[in-house]
Structure 1
Amino acid sequence: MKPIPRVSGFRIASPLLSGVVWSIIWLAAGTLLLSLLLYGTAISEQEVVPWVFGIHGFASLCGGFVSARKSGRKGWSVGMTTGLFYAVAVLLTSFLANDVDWTVRIPMLIVLAALFGAIGGMFGVNTGASRRPMR
Structure 2
Amino acid sequence: MAIKNPIFVGFTWAFMTSISLLLVLIILVQFTSLPESSLPTLTYAIHIVSILIGALKAGFRSSQKGWYAGALTGFIYMLLIVLFGSMLFSSITLSVESLIQVVIGISIGAVGGIVGVNFNAR
Q: Decide: shared fold, TM above 0.5.
A: yes
Larger deviation, residues 90-99 vs 14-23: 90-99
Residue deviations 1:25-62 (CA, integer Å, cap 9, x gap): 00001101111111122233222111111000000001
Does residue 101 of structure 2 align to residue 109 of structure 1?
yes
Identity of aligned residues (%): 26
What is the aligned-residue RMSD (CA, Å)?
1.8
Question: TM-score if structure 1 supplies the norm length?
Answer: 0.78
Q: 2:90 aligns with which of 99, 111, 116?
A: 99
Kindly tell me the number of residue pairs found equivalent between the two proteins: 120
Question: TM-score if structure 2 supplies the norm length?
Answer: 0.86
Does residue 9 of structure 2 align to residue 18 of structure 1?
yes
Quote the Cα distance in structure 2 between the aligned partners of 1:63 and 1:100. Answer: 28
Does residue 38 of structure 2 align to residue 47 of structure 1?
yes
More helix by share: 2
1:114 and 1:32, CA in 2 relative to 1: closer, same or farther beyond 3 A?
Answer: same
Q: Which has the larger radius of gyration?
A: 1
Quote the Cα distance in structure 2 between the aligned partners of 1:50 and 1:97. Answer: 19
Q: 1:28 aligns with which of 19, 27, 47?
A: 19
- Structure 1: where are the runs of 5+ without partners? 1-8
Structure-2 residue corresponding to 1:4? none
CA drift of 1:68 comes to 0.9
Quote the Cα distance in structure 2 between the aligned partners of 1:100 and 1:21. Answer: 27
Give the AA of the match of 1:48: L
